[in-house]
Structure 1
Amino acid sequence: MQPTATSVRAVNRLTARWAGSLPGPRGTVVSATTLWPLLAFLQDAAGGPARDELGDATGLPAAEAAGAARGFLEALGAIRGTRAALGLWTRADLPLHGDWRARVPAGTAGTITGDATIDRRTLDGWVDERTEGLIRSMPVHIDKSTQLVLAAAQSVRTRWLRPFFETEVVPESGPWQGRLLLGLHRTTSLLDRVAVAETPDGPLTVLKILGRTGVDVHLLLGHADMTSAQVLRHGIGTLAGTGATPVHGDRLPLGEAGPGLRVSTVRSRTPRPVLEVLTVAFRVAANHDLLEEPALFGLSTASDTSRGHFPGISPDPLAVGSAGQGAVAVFDAKGFESATVTAISVMAGGMPPPPRYTVRHVEAVIDRPFGFLTVHRTSRLVLTAGWVTDPLPFPEDRDDDEDRGYDDDREYDDDREYDDDRGYDDDRGYDEAVGT
């Protein structure tokens, strides 16, 4: 089971809309996958202008919103390496319409007491458990006026098909110039893992790092003047096939072929081409107050507390009191992990033989601020999107003999790329996939 094409388009549209509004330059991470279903459940119950505004954010007719949100959450939780959960807490004395409650997935109900200390402990415990400790607190304000809290959590963990070696990186230019950073290095013969997309704001380099669970990370590097909003928006656009078709590594011109990319020919012991990747490890965390830009998420009218906007939830007048998201993403030599929680509260290497071949060599160096997308490979759903401005430093106490990403005694075939269902890339012939 995977998300429907309609849901993927709608969620990716909201992610692009959000990413396109990000202020820069600062590191951040966002996820519409935990926000979109909450907006859809609220849209289903909303009335008047609030219903229309939420529909603009979800991209769905109100009659379809709750069913689509429920199906999306079920499909999201079925993606290997991904956990998803929905939580709904209400005051015991808040009357709920049974038909709306029935459209919310079973097993999500809880109670809040009106005591902020008790309720905060309950909600924070749910967040900690659902994100496996990556996030510790519910990202909304809770007090005695809170009548209802609707939250969604997601965690993603994947191991790379081929780990990186850890190394030292000291950029020679750019914002990270002179800093000793924890670098990640590896090579492959699959040149289609990198591409350059021409966008209205300039060329964009897209580098795919494949995970073992069918969840991949796309690293995005634009030219130095491109903003985070431009890079992330165009990166999501390449998934939807908008704009010019990206040019992959095997067809890039010699020389400076794109941001961070240089293509040349080198002497080699084998006839295989080489894609050499050097990037940096990072950990990015962010908290977002969604009501700072309520129109972006269809919450302008819904957050007007002078009147009620959700007659489908309760006969009591209700309005959005707060809305927020907490998110974290970690990228290192062995894999990637991220977690997001969105909530809305409602108020009332030996010596080689001599080289024999001349082969194409593509070098990708990402050593200045860049974007990233976590992408479900088969559906192209963007699980998280982020911007890296503060990479991890190289540890001063690192032991030179320490593991640098994988066991040196193990022989890795850098052409053996697996998918989550068949054991090799579904979009490549088997012989090519295993390097025969």
Structure 2
Amino acid sequence: MTRKSTRTLRPDVDLARPIATYADRLHRALGGTHHVVSPLGVWLVLALAGTAATRAETQARMADVLGLDPRDAAGATRALVDAAPAELRLAVGAWVADAARDGANPAAYDVWSRSLPRSAGTGPIPPQAELDAWADEHTGGMIPRFPAEVPPTTSVLLASAVMTRISWAEPFTAVPAAELGGAWAGTVARVLRSPEEHPVGAVDVDGERYAVHRAASSGDMTVLSVVAEREDAVPADVVAAAHTVALGGGTDVPLAELPLGDGPVWSVVEEDGFGGDSTDALLPAWATDTEVNLQQVPSGVDAAFAALADLLPTAPTDRTGAVQKCVARYSREGFEAAAVTALMRAAGGMSARGRVRHGTARFARPYAVVATVRTTAGPLPAFSGWITEPVEAD
């Protein structure tokens, strides 16, 4: 079920930086494990709960987690979900059991319900089969089952689904893994070489250098791969740097400033030739299937549960649960990813001749990825992760 609202949208609120800040919180909790998640998916669920807060203390907690006043977060969520970019499918649900709704303050409940996106699923808690169908439909079959078992005693269930499935505007070619080198060359037989249309370069972020590769769809989606020159870089710092670059930060480092020869990441040669300098990248294909218990990491769901408690009656036997299921695949032809996030409370869970250079960036060890979609306010991070397990390039 869906309901309509006349609440004014807030499309002027830029969500990119709050989402990137929230992503840093989540990735620092997940550390160096092989994973891709959707911080956007979790943030959307938290934003659904934000306007449930009626006490000043709870409102402040939600503002800290969201990086925005909860009312602004709700308005921006409505604008995004109800008019999502073409290559990003979004859906949210905010279901409340009849008994819990009947016990709420009517005026506060009306304010909260009117803050929800027009397209949100609302009404009583759907049965498990309907939730499975909801997840399947909104992830294009990538996640066919809802990531949580929802008991009949559930009083409130908030959920989001985020999905993209794109083909690269210019696909990679598959080459022998020996060209990549490193330990991963012994793990798979073939890896990916980027075409000349893919931007590849060195970027300085806060005094640290990274190699950055960008692969884009023919539409609005771009996936950045970012590897640190320092082999001992903290994974979460690399993911944070990737978000900085994704949002237009960092300083480009000219190829002429990179040392000739084989380095930690770059292999740079100089020879006689025509035209300008050029770059490409070698990186593995990869796939992930990640499930995160959001209550076992500092994800901010505790503030969301507190906000819901401001609005909806609780019982001593009530238990809570919060989880995200995310699957993603990066291949020669394209990228696809989907995530379903659930939060619930239940009783009893680039010509002249000259010297030219060519540099090849080798993503031969763990690196960060960030997938962004272009919006009127700029790039919006949708998925991000830390890649440690390559798969065979097709």
TM over 0.5: yes
* Corresponding residue for residue 30 of structure 2: 22
TM-score (normalizing by structure 2): 0.83
Shift of residue 326, structure 1, vs aligned partner? 0.9
Equivalences for 1:224-303 in 2 at 5 Å?
A: 224-240=231-247, 245-249=251-255, 251-255=256-260, 259-268=264-273, 270-293=274-297, 296-300=298-302, 302-303=304-305
Please state if 1:52 is matched with 2:60.
yes
Distance 1:335 1:100, change over 3 A: same
| Counterpart Cα distance in 1 of 2:139 and 2:81 | 15
What SS does the corresponding residue of 1:16 show, helix, strand or coil? Answer: helix
| Counterpart Cα distance in 1 of 2:11 and 2:335 | 21
Contact 2:25–2:299 (Cα < 8 Å) also in 1: no
After TM superposition, the runs of 4+ consecutive aligned structure 1 residues lying more than 6 A away are: 317-320
Match of 1:99 among 111, 115, 126: 111
Distance 1:11 1:256, change over 3 A: farther
Shift of residue 70, structure 1, vs aligned partner? 1.2
Match of 1:215 among 210, 221, 226: 221
| Counterpart Cα distance in 2 of 1:65 and 1:33 | 12
Distance 1:2 1:370, change over 3 A: farther
Distance 1:207 1:136, change over 3 A: same
List gaps (5 residues or longer) in structure 2: 1-8, 103-108, 348-352
* Corresponding residue for residue 328 of structure 1: 327
Deviates further, 385-394 or 127-136: 385-394
- Which amino acid letter does the alignment assign opposite residue 120 of structure 1? Q
Distance 1:303 1:104, change over 3 A: closer
Number of aligned positions between the proteins: 369
What SS does the corresponding residue of 1:37 show, helix, strand or coil? Answer: helix
Percentage identity across paired residues of the two chains: 26
- Which amino acid letter does the alignment assign opposite residue 217 of structure 2? G
Contact 1:147–1:347 (Cα < 8 Å) also in 2: yes
| Counterpart Cα distance in 2 of 1:343 and 1:155 | 15
Please state if 1:144 is matched with 2:152.
yes
| Counterpart Cα distance in 1 of 2:366 and 2:115 | 43
* Corresponding residue for residue 385 of structure 2: 386
Shift of residue 320, structure 1, vs aligned partner? 7.1
Shift of residue 248, structure 1, vs aligned partner? 4.6
What SS does the corresponding residue of 1:42 show, helix, strand or coil? Answer: helix
What SS does the corresponding residue of 2:117 show, helix, strand or coil? Answer: coil
* Corresponding residue for residue 6 of structure 2: none
List gaps (5 residues or longer) in structure 1: 114-118, 349-355, 396-436
Shift of residue 327, structure 1, vs aligned partner? 0.8
* Corresponding residue for residue 105 of structure 2: none
- Which amino acid letter does the alignment assign opposite residue 171 of structure 2? P
Contact 2:301–2:322 (Cα < 8 Å) also in 1: no
Contact 2:36–2:327 (Cα < 8 Å) also in 1: yes
What SS does the corresponding residue of 2:369 show, helix, strand or coil? Answer: strand
What SS does the corresponding residue of 2:290 show, helix, strand or coil? Answer: strand
| Counterpart Cα distance in 1 of 2:209 and 2:202 | 10
Match of 2:361 among 344, 347, 364: 364
* Corresponding residue for residue 88 of structure 2: 82
Match of 1:180 among 159, 175, 188: 188
Shift of residue 172, structure 1, vs aligned partner? 7.6
TM-score (normalizing by structure 1): 0.76
